[in-house]
Structure 1
Amino acid sequence: MLGLIGKKICMTSYFNELGYCIPCTVIKAGPCTVLQKKSIKKDGYSSIQLGYEEKKQKNTNKPLVGHFKKFNSSPKKRIFEFAGNFLKAPGDVIKVDLFQENDNVDIVGIAKGKGFQGVVKRHGFSGVGEKTHGQHNRSRAPGSIGAGSDPSRVFKGTRMAGRMGGKRITIKNLKILKIYLTRNLVLVKGAIPGPTNSYLLIKKTFFKNGNRNFE
């Protein structure tokens, strides 16, 4: 499934032809340079490796500098492989015209990290109860986490306090509302995980006989 590496710019509003206001996310998608093409015969699987955004050579480690020079490319900030056998060669540039308006895409991003949070914010708990009958500082407590005698342990997966956010999230079937070819911008309906200027993967979604197809 071919796609592009992009960057989240901001959120804004888009007014369609009927005058409805649609919240959307602005993404700078590409241009991405094909760095390497892998084959089943040589590498055991088929894919193409894309690079996004220029990077200074002094800030790139020597193994990566050698990798970029091998394929006659300048250092890139982000590298990602898209699985599949595509008619692309090293040095080709893939731009935002890969997509069309009204296409469906899957977008992968890293959610904002929120640090260590309690059960009220992390899982939506309502707390133990009211501050009556002698309760003290229990309004945001998790309550019981298991029996003491049997099983005498806490089950894995119990909803408790812990680190929140910072995970890789995929949002599926987002609709492309508008494409600006000259500026490499894509307007996607709805919200996308990650802070401003975070890197994203935009994957093209195909449907065959009503089912999702990634080939």
Structure 2
Amino acid sequence: MTQIFDDDGTVVPVTVIEAGPCTVLLSRSAGRDGYDAIQVGYRDKPRRLASRSVRGQVVKLESKRAKKRSHAGIEMVAKADCEPQRFVREFRGETKAQVGQKITVAVFEGCDAVDVIGVSKGRGTAGVMKRHGFSGQRATHGVKKVHRHQGGTGMCQSPGRLFKGKKMAGRMG
């Protein structure tokens, strides 16, 4: 997150979105594939790092199979004619995007809010100080080897159990 200032000096918190340019790699149709969708690629990948099958998705490659299909009159799928892409995702639904077309952040122009879903960074098993921001225990005055522990859980004979949602160490991310 960052912030911008209005004309009257008011601070407005904003989130910067990096979206594109993305390339439409493939267009699926209900007639040929059974459903409508587009395949979108993001961030170029060097050709030397891409496998032959990945390169064949974006550029027409010569092969025996392609020659046989063209002689038989089978229509080949349109290629995007771009570099191989590092990230490829498919979005279902009817669209008017053509293969090879660039999709930029201008798509969001006029939107007030954008709903973004992401994957958090996995941090493995974390203690309560890292996971929940606990302050830990004293460094001295009788505390031995438990400086980063949570301390007491707050339960005794009644109710004799821990309530759900108790902040403890565990998997984070």
Q: Alignment RMSD, CA only?
A: 3.5
* Structure 1 pair 34–136 and aligned structure 2 pair: CA distance change class (3 A): same
Give TM-score, length-normalised by structure 1. Answer: 0.53
In the TM superposition, 1:147-186 aligns within 5 A as: 160-165=168-173
Looking at CA atoms only, which structure, 1 or 2, has the larger radius of gyration? 2
Give the one of 80, 84, 90 matched to 1:75: 84
In the TM superposition, 1:1-150 aligns within 5 A as: 11-70=1-60, 71-73=79-81, 74-124=83-133, 136-142=144-150
The Cα of 1:94 is off from its aligned counterpart by 1.7
Q: How many residues align?
A: 146
The Cα of 1:118 is off from its aligned counterpart by 0.6
Specify which structure has the higher proportion of strand.
1
* Structure 1 pair 120–103 and aligned structure 2 pair: CA distance change class (3 A): same
Separation in structure 2 between the aligned mates of residue 159 and residue 13 of structure 1, nearest angstrom: 32
Query: Which amino acid is 1:57 matched to?
Result: R
More RCO (CA 8 Å, sep 6+): 1
Identity %: 42
Specify which structure has the higher proportion of helix.
2
The Cα of 1:78 is off from its aligned counterpart by 1.8
Stretches of structure 1 lacking an aligned partner (at least 5 in a row): 1-10, 146-156, 166-215
**Contact 2:58/2:84 (<8 A) preserved:** yes
Separation in structure 2 between the aligned mates of residue 79 and residue 21 of structure 1, nearest angstrom: 37
Note the alpha carbon deviations across 1:10-41, whole angstroms, 9 max, x for none. Answer: x5321123321123233332121111112344
Note the alpha carbon deviations across 1:143-202, whole angstroms, 9 max, x for none. Answer: 689xxxxxxxxxxx986534422xxxxxxxxxxxxxxxxxxxxxxxxxxxxxxxxxxxxx
Stretches of structure 2 lacking an aligned partner (at least 5 in a row): 61-78, 154-164
Separation in structure 1 between the aligned mates of residue 18 and residue 121 of structure 2, nearest angstrom: 19
